[in-house]
Structure 1
Amino acid sequence: MSLDLDDTDRAILRALSRDSTQSAGALGRKLGLSQPATWRRIRRLEEAGVIAGRRVVVDTEALGFGVTVFLGVKLAAKGRVSLEDFERAVTAIPEVQLVQHVLGLFDYRLRVTARDLADFERVLRRRIMTLPGVGQVEANVLLSEERRPGPLG
Structure 2
Amino acid sequence: MSLDLDDLDRAILRALTQDATQSAGALGRRLGLSQPATWRRIKRLETAGVLAGRRVDLDQDALGFGVTVFLGIKLAAKGRVSLDDFERAVTAIPEVQVVQHVLGLFDYRLRVTARDLPDFERVLRRRIMTLPGVGQVEANVLLSEERRPGPLG
User: Percent of pairs identical after alignment?
Assistant: 90
Secondary structure, aligned partner of 1:110: strand
Tell me the distance in 1 between the aligned counterparts of 2:117 and 2:96.
15
Alignment of 1:1-153 (within 5 A): 1-153=1-153
Question: Once the 2 structures are TM-superposed, how far is the Cα of residue 93 of structure 1 from its aligned partner?
Answer: 0.2
Q: CA deviation at 1:150?
A: 1.0
1:25 to partner: Cα distance:
0.1
Query: Alignment length, in residue pairs?
Result: 153
Counterpart amino acid of 2:139?
A
Letter in 1 for 2:37: A
Letter in 2 for 1:111: R
Deviation at 1:43, TM superposition (A): 0.3
Equivalent AA in structure 1 for residue 6 of structure 2 = D
Unaligned stretches of 5+ in structure 2?
Answer: none
Matched residue type, 1:90: V
Structure 2 Cα separation of the partners of residues 32 and 70 of structure 1: 43
> CA shift at 1:142, angstroms?
0.1
- Cα RMSD (Å) of the superposition? 0.3
Query: Secondary structure at the residue paired with 1:74?
Result: strand
TM-score, normalised on structure 2?
1.00
The CA distance in 2 between the partners of 1:138 and 1:72, in whole Å, is 5
C-alpha distance in 1 between matches for 2:137 and 2:120: 14
How far does residue 63 in structure 1 lie from its aligned partner after superposition? 0.4
SS of residue in 2 equivalent to 1:124: helix
**DSSP-derived class of the 1:73 partner:** strand
Deviation at 1:114, TM superposition (A): 0.1
Cα distance per residue 1:14-54 (max 9 Å; x no partner)? 00001000000000000000000000000000000000000
Cα separation, 1, equivalents of 2:69 and 2:45: 34
- Cα distance in 2 for partners of 1:14, 1:113 equals 28
Tell me how far apart the structure 2 counterparts of residues 135 and 3 of structure 1 sit (CA, whole Å).
43
Alignment TM-score, normalising by the size of structure 1 = 1.00
- What is the letter of the counterpart of residue 13 of structure 2? L
Secondary structure of 1:97's match? Answer: strand
SS in 2 for 1:60: coil
